[in-house]
Amino acid sequence: MGLFDFFKKKETAPEAQEALDKGLEKTKEGFLSKITKAVAGKSTVDDDVLDNLEEVLVTSDVGVTTTLKIIDRIQARVAKDKYLSTSELQTLLRDEIQLLLAENNSNDFRNFEYGDHKPYVIMVVGVNGVGKTTTIGKLAHKLKGEGLKVVLGAADTFRAAAVEQIKLWGERVGVRVVAQAMGSDPASVAFDTLQSAVANKEDVVIIDTAGRLHNKVGLMNELGKIKNVMQKVIPNAPHEILLVLDGSTGQNAFEQCKQFTEATDVNALAITKLDGTAKGGVVIGISDQFKIPVKYIGVGEKMDDLQLFDKKDFVNSLFK
């Protein structure tokens, strides 16, 4: 069973779909109104419409590379179908974006469940301010709701606030937190957390790490050291390196993704704060360009507003 096959497929609950639709409202309003303007006064999809559409996608933070792929696909369809009305464009655009995301060879996740590895170890990375600690807390809440025993490791020991935040989330969610004194060696915290998780037969370990995007070599060394120390306790840990990105930062999120994927083996993404921004297109661009599964999206403030990402549901919601 592969790393990303641990989630069992089930239909999106109506309340989750409703939260997704609400969380993407700002992006959707901007996106659809721009498309409407792009085709105003036109009955067929011509070069002008395609130029306007290209601008819509770029200004919606889909990213230039992904935008050009989408435009190329639509041009190919226009050439093939000879005549394509502007009324068909929205459906075509939705379908092409879904197909593009489907080609990234990443499964959708429909359940907060883990399989063979016990404990399953998640190392969370990302710069300060992206919603990393909140994501950890909400994820712990979801996992606990699935009946799993969860422990958090407060390995961001450079900021007192980070350790305190993790402790607060632990209390709020009702999960155990392993922490050391401010300024302790992060790898030591990770080691202690894994040892105690094994001893307590816990199911999932979530390790927070420092969110400083200092020079890449320093970041690489620090994260590498934490991984090496964890592997002394659990040979193949961490099973998941989850990079948290703030969707509202648009192109900045691309740059952070680039830096972190070069520094460590990121194999899952969480994109947060989508409810407060019109830049939700960033999810499409990052998913396409980095070929790393977007696993979670944050669509609101509530504890349950961290959702498993489903490509089809996401794109359908954008075009509703």
- Residues placed in the known binding site for GTP: 126-133, 208-212, 272-275
- Supply the DSSP symbol for 174: T
Tell me how crowded residue 100 is: count the other CB atoms within 10 A of its CB. Answer: 18
The sheet carrying 294-298 orders its strands as 176-178, 150-154, 204-208, 120-125, 240-246, 268-272, 294-298, 306-308
Please state the φ and ψ torsions of residue 122, each to the nearest 5 degrees.
-115, 120
Residue 69 burial by Cβ neighbours in a 10 Å radius (0-12, 13-18, 19+): buried
CA 127 vs. chain centroid, Å, equals: 14
Sign of CA dihedral 112, 116, 119, 125: negative
Residue 47 φ then ψ, to 5° = -60, -40
What ranges make up the beta strands (E) of the chain?
120-125, 150-154, 176-178, 204-208, 240-246, 268-272, 294-298, 306-308
Residue 79's contacts (CB-CB under 8 Å, 6 or more residues apart) are none
Q: Which residue has the tokens 């429909």?
A: 110
272: amino acid identity, one letter: T
Q: Mark the binding-site residues, compressed into ranges.
A: 126-133, 208-212, 272-275
